[in-house]
Structure formats: C-alpha cells, structure tokens
C-alpha cells in the first residue's frame, strides 16, 4: 500500500522507507494510470516506465478484471497499490485489493505517507482521541442539514470530532449551509490545499465563518472538521 | 505539528519535507522530552541539542504552564509540536497547543508522518470511506461487550469501519472478550508492530481468531479494526 503525494510535485512528502518499497516493485494496481505513472517516474524508479506493469482499477466497477489479475499475479510477485492522491485504501477503491489479499492469505504491508484527513485533524486542534470520517455528506439539502445538526449534537454530548469532504466546486455551498444551520458558537475547521504551498488550516466559530467571503475555498481541495 | 517515528529507530518513515521543517525549528512543545530529544538528535538536527528549547507537557495536566509558555513564545518564533510516537494531536495532548494557536490566530502547519490508526485501516481491507476511531474502549466487561455489539451492528447496518486501541498488556484479554461476544462471521483486523520489522496486519473472521493462540499479541502495540 504505497501512498503518493497529495500535491503531485511534492514528492518530498513521501518518506524514504516508502520510496524504497516503491522502487523494489514492478507491478502496480492503481486508481488512475496516468497519475501513477507520473508519480513512479518522479520518484526516480530504477525500472524504465515502459517495463512497469500497471493495472488500472475500473472507475465504475473496481472488481472488473481484478480477481483475475490478482489470482494470476499475487502469488508470484509483490504488487504495489497506488491511489490517485494520498493513502490507498482510504476513501478510494484500493481497499478491494487488500480485502482480496487478506482473504487469500497474501501479506499486506501498509506504508507511511500523506493523508489529508489526518492532516486536517492534526491542524484543527480538536479531540484526536475520538473521531469519525464521514466521506461526503448527503447532497440533499434537508438530509444535509439533519446530518450537520446530528454532528453538532454529538460534539456537544460526546466531544468526538467529525471530518468530511466535498467536491471542490461544491465547497462554497457546503459552507453556506453549514453556517446557516449550526449554532454561532460551534467550531468549524477548514483545511485547504493541504501539503501545498498555499495550505491554510483555520478553526473558527460559525459566527466568524459567516462574516468570511466563502470565495476563498471555491474549487480548492478542502477538508472540513466539526469538533471541540 | 511534527510527526515522529512509531518505532523509534525507523527515522526513514519521516518524509524529507517534515525533517526540513524540524531542522528549521529550535523550540518544541513535546509529549515526552526524553523521546523527543532522541528523535531530534537522530534526525541530524543542525543545532546542538543543549541549545534546543524543549517544553514538556505535564502528563497529568497538559494545560499547566502551557498558556504562559505559548503567550511568551508563540508570537516571536515558530514552535514545533512532537508526540511520543506518530502524529501529534491524534490521541495525544498535542491538540491543546493547536487549539491555543487557532484561538490566537497563530498559523498551524500539520506535517506528514506515520499514524498507526491510518496504517491499520489501510491494511485491513475495510471500508475507508467511512470510519470511526474510538481510542480505548471501556474496561468494564459489561460496557465493553455492549460497545463491541453496537459496533458489530453498525458495521452490518452502515458498513462503517471501527478502529480502537488497547494498552499492550491488555491486548490478549480484549481479543478474548471480542471473540466471545461477536458473531463467528464478523471480520476483525489486528495490526501489530506497525512500521516495525515484525509488523503483521491480519484480517480474519471471529471464528478463525478463536482458534489462534492470543499469545502472539501479548505486550505488542496493536490496533484493532472491525469492518467489512
């Protein structure tokens, strides 16, 4: 399980131990072949790119062809798994490969690398002893408001931290809805462009987010945390 | 926010970008001074160790003296935060420092490094789109069984992954209780010695864990995941 950079050019966010494992492999199952090839190349992999075997997971059906590929290859050589950005198996289809390996008694080695979920939590100042990652919240306005209010109540009652993401072009609308339905004193942390040169991690009460121009997070990759 | 290795000698699990930030700092707030000094030394920090300023968080009251130290120092120089192992602010008192910084409008920069929680999730093969980290589960047997059964039900109903840890000497007893109260088909993943040379990540149904000798995880740092 080989993490790759969140911001493509920042190869220095990948530890030496992970690069060493990457360079020992010539077979990969990847979320997106194009970005995986660029990462492998940028890492100074010792094997010429055209000799590296890349199996791209089908976007619509990650199982398609996977079982066959794994049955054929997983016992005769080690296979690396690479996500489009960050850690494979977290919020991407890479976990399918791992569950196959675990079922077939093929050893799995998770390697160290960047995760925007964890970076956002570290930067929020919120409780890191208990937290939930929700992925995407519902898009339906009514369901979204219900979920956000449930999260706010759980923060108040149990002190857990709640983390969620959104497609960048919907960030502004998510912030507007969040500000409109939560209490003025509830803390919201927004992390933008994590590991990038324009990275920002800001934790403020809703009453201060309301005054901000939401344009700053338009189309920028963001992670949202609610906690205390 | 400067992650340090989970297994102390494995400095190669820390990315170059994090080491670079570490080497630009001479002031640190740390969970444990002894291990932080060893990490700083092992990283080949350019400043002699005796000239580096280290503030150790009080184990019993992480707020003690912290406010004063931060008020005095945080505006005149950058301060690194180092946990005893892995990422600061996740399951350690480092988040207090961040919440102070966020309140006082001091920029916070989370850096990339190892997290056993995330590595365990990556290696489990379970759903990484939705997961909860619980920290330690209750020690009271009745409450523990209730919590484990609640987790099992949530996995069945919602497909979330649940992650928890235990003090190494209690691992065996946690596994025994887990095996005794969950259904035979429920999947449990145990990760031991993550990033270490004897690392193991194993996902099996309860009915197979029951047959294993629990001695293998005695006094070894472990992360438990239940999911599908």
CB contact under 8 A, B124 and A112: no
Question: Which pLDDT score is estimated for B92?
Answer: 82
Taking 90 as the threshold, does the pLDDT of residue A19 lie above it?
A: yes
- pLDDT tier at B64 (50, 70, 90 boundaries)? confident
Of A10, A16, A98, Cβ closest to residue B12: A16
The pTM is what? Answer: 0.96
Across the range B101-106, mean pLDDT stands at 95
- pLDDT tier at B68 (50, 70, 90 boundaries)? very high
Q: What is the pLDDT of residues A183-224, one digit of tens each?
A: 999 999 999 999 999 999 999 999 999 999 888 888 899 999
Question: Which pLDDT score is estimated for A115?
Answer: 97
Q: How far apart are CA A104 and CA A74, in angstroms?
A: 9
Contact between A209 and A188 under an 8 Å Cβ cutoff? The reply is yes
CB contact under 8 A, B128 and A10: no
Distance from CA of B150 to the nearest CA of A (A): 15
Q: What is the pLDDT of residues A143-177, one digit of tens each?
A: 999 999 999 999 999 999 999 999 999 999 999 99
Across the range B103-131, mean pLDDT stands at 97
* DSSP helix, strand, coil percent of chain B (3-state; round to 5): 40, 20, 40
B contacts of A99 (beta carbons < 8 Å): 125-126, 203
The chain A residue lying nearest B107, using CA atoms, is: A201
Which residue in B122, B133, B134, B189 has the most chain A C-beta atoms within 10 A of its own C-beta, making it the best mutation to test that interface? B122
Say what the ipTM of the complex is: 0.96
> Measured between CB atoms, does A202 come within 8 Å of chain B?
yes
Domain annotation for chain B: domains and CATH numbers: 11-103 (3.40.1010.10), 116-227 (3.30.950.10)
- pLDDT tier at B61 (50, 70, 90 boundaries)? confident
Q: What is the pLDDT of residues B14-41, one digit of tens each?
A: 999 999 999 999 999 999 999 999 999 9
* Neighbouring C-beta atoms of residue B117, cutoff 10 Å: 26
Question: Which pLDDT score is estimated for B52?
Answer: 97
Phi, psi of A129 (to 5 degrees): -85, -20
């Amino acid at each position: 399980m080989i993490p790759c950079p969140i911001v493509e050019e920042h190869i220095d966010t990948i530890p030496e131990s992970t690069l060493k494992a990457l360079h020992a492999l010539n077979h990969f199952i990847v979320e997106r072949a194009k970005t995986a090839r660029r990462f492998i190349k940028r890492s100074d992999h010792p094997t010429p790119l055209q000799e590296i075997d890349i199996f791209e997971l089908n976007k619509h059906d990650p199982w398609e062809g996977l079982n066959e590929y794994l049955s054929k290859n997983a016992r005769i050589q080690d296979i690396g798994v690479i996500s489009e950005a960050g850690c494979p198996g977290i919020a991407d289809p890479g976990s399918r490969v791992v569950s196959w390996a675990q079922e077939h008694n093929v050893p799995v080695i998770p390697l160290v690398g960047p995760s925007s979920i964890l970076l956002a939590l570290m930067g929020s100042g919120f409780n890191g002893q208990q937290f939930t990652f929700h992925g995407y919240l519902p898009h339906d306005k009514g369901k979204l408001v219900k979920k956000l209010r449930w999260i706010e109540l759980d923060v108040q009652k149990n002190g857990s931290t709640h983390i969620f993401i959104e497609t960048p072009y919907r960030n502004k609308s998510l912030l507007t809805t969040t500000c409109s339905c939560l209490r003025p004193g509830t803390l919201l942390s927004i992390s933008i462009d994590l590991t990038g040169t324009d990275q920002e991690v800001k934790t403020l009460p809703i009453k201060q987010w309301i005054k901000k121009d939401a344009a700053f997070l338009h189309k920028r990759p963001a992670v949202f945390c609610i906690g205390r």
